[in-house]
Amino acid sequence: MTPDKPDDPIEAASALPERNPFSLVSHDLRSALSDILGGLHLVDQSRLDAETRAHFDRVAAAGEALARMLDKTLSEMPSRLNDRSITHAVNVDLGDFLNDIRRRWADVAAEKDVRFTVEVPSALPAVATLDRVSLERIIANLVGNAIKFTDAGTVDLTVSCHQDRTLCFCIRDDGPGLSAAALSRLYEYAGRPEGAAKPGSGLGLHIARELAGLIGASLDVRNRDDGNSGTLAELLLPHAAWFDRSLRRESPAASPTRKDDREISLAGMNILLAEDNKTNQLVATQMLGAMGAEFGVASDGLEALQMLEAGQYDLALLDIEMPRMSGLELIKTIRSRPAPLGDMPLVALTAYVMREHRERIFAAGADGIIAKPLMSIADLGRDILDHYHQRRPHEAQTNAPAEAPQTAPQPAGAPVDRAIFDNLVDTIGPDSTAELLDKLQIDTDAVAEGLSRGRRNLDLAEIRSQTHILISVAGAIGATRLQYIAQRLNTAANRPAAAEGLAELCDECLSGLSDLQGFIMAEQAGTAPGA
């Protein structure tokens, strides 16, 4: 007879004396939202007319923003409920972020016959490291206010990067502007003056100003001074507020921005999904199938163990809350087995993502966590590839001699295999090639700086970190010789006792980096020679 599921399987598996009722609310809220977003992902948009697709985009973008805010809020409660200084910095692809803003608000403005535009007049950094949820809430309050008070004309969001690397988000509207009474109480809590023409509480600007302070930004809202009516809101993020190399453990260039989720490929991978919820099974398998993966499905932990023992799987996605054997018990059991089963990449697919839950999942032996609800096919695919490759290099570093090549090197003198690079360009499309080259330039600059620092101080942790990034970047674009050198250097840095010649390997890697950067610059100018 199958026993009932524990209320909180992580706590049950960890033999905690008390049940955390808040985690139940957290799980139920996340599960409900997972069903909503999962259903949206299953809609075939090609069958929708243009107007319906626009409404669908608006709902999907708002739902994804809600999921991120819910995740942040639930992760901080209840123990952090009164801590107003909490921020959670992540690597944010600015192109994707602005596209989400456009998707969410264009249709809202159109309902009032107002035009909403997003303009980027100059080059932006590819990635900003900051609290995305807070930034999204700030922009939402500012854009929402602008659309609300604009009855005709345009609301423009202009995003630029100043010479001192300050990011500027500027919202300009054609509304009536702010009254003297409104200006005098602009950022106060519930500071809306009496007798205002539009309903509301005035909380939006108060929230935006407070969040701006938390992420290290400044916010200035004023009437336009260009001779037109309307307001101007400027959010300024200095370089220190959006750049944090310590969090950039994975290179953006290793996973180029995709215009189409189908461009993320899991072809050749065989993945086990252990999940007892039928809706979640459907959503996850649809996504895996769309990316070309083969997959098996288990409906409980014991069935998953039997399938893993009998089959040839490359990676397992394991729900934590399952009957007969919980996800934590399954992970611990697999880790107790000899290789190759015991070394399989294991990723928890779960709605339990509070910090104490994460710690127990990793302590059990998981390689990573993918939080429900699943936000997109592309995000799921990238996460799977990240966790898969993170374990694979670890195996090579542990078992291979330091001098053993892990990639056949490209012949000397050819920084990039032209066939591999051209295939990548064909895959991402010509419109994304310039963005890819910009990201490569940013990443190789950062790696060169970090590697030089590591070589100067013989800092093994720094060398390991930078070569980990370089292995992915070089492999993605066909710089196979540089990838080979980076792998050798990474292996040597993981074996301090056998670190003789480390400085020379660093010099060789830096020289290869210089050649790669020359190739990137030539590609940007359209003059790169064929390999």
pLDDT at 69: 74
Judge if 490 and 456 occupy the same domain. Answer: yes
Residue-wise burial string across 466-480, b where 16 or more C-beta atoms lie within 10 A, e elsewhere = bbbbbbbbbbbbbbb
Residue 35 is assigned to a structural domain of this protein: no
Judge if 194 and 266 occupy the same domain. Answer: no
pLDDT at 221: 93
Per-residue pLDDT of the chain (531 residues), as tens digits, is: 344 444 444 444 444 334 344 444 554 566 567 657 766 777 777 888 888 888 888 888 887 777 777 766 666 554 444 344 445 677 888 888 999 899 888 888 888 899 999 999 877 887 888 888 889 989 988 998 899 889 999 999 999 988 888 999 999 999 988 888 888 877 777 556 565 556 555 677 888 888 898 888 999 999 998 888 899 999 999 988 887 644 443 333 333 333 344 467 888 899 999 988 776 777 788 888 888 899 999 999 999 999 999 988 999 999 888 889 998 999 999 999 888 888 899 999 876 555 566 778 888 888 888 876 666 788 788 888 877 876 644 333 333 333 333 444 444 456 888 877 877 677 666 677 787 788 778 878 888 888 888 888 888 888 877 887 777 677 777 788 887 788 778 777 766 554 567 888 888 888 888 888 888 888 877 745 444
Judge if 335 and 380 occupy the same domain. Answer: yes
Pick from 400, 255, 390: nearest CA to 315: 390
Judge if 231 and 118 occupy the same domain. Answer: yes
Judge if 243 and 303 occupy the same domain. Answer: no
Last residue of a domain, one of 257, 278, 301: 257
pLDDT at 196: 59
Judge if 116 and 136 occupy the same domain. Answer: yes
pTM over 0.85, yes/no: no
The CA distance from 280 to 276, in Å, is 8
Residue 235 is assigned to a structural domain of this protein: yes
What CATH number did the domain enclosing 477 receive? 1.20.120
Residue 95 is assigned to a structural domain of this protein: yes
| Amino acid found at 104 | R
Judge if 374 and 236 occupy the same domain. Answer: no
What CATH number did the domain enclosing 366 receive? 3.40.50.2300
Judge if 145 and 280 occupy the same domain. Answer: no
Last residue of a domain, one of 216, 236, 257: 257
Judge if 100 and 245 occupy the same domain. Answer: yes
pLDDT at 231: 94
The CA distance from 527 to 519, in Å, is 9
Judge if 127 and 208 occupy the same domain. Answer: yes
pLDDT at 504: 84
Last residue of a domain, one of 257, 283, 309: 257
Residue 46 is assigned to a structural domain of this protein: no
Residue 45 is assigned to a structural domain of this protein: no
* Number of domains comprising the chain: 3
| Amino acid found at 113 | D
Domain containing 447 equals: 418-525
Sheet hosting strand 231-237, strand order edge to edge? 114-119, 153-161, 167-173, 231-237, 218-223
**CA-based angle 497:499:501, to the nearest 5?**
150
Residue 344 is assigned to a structural domain of this protein: yes
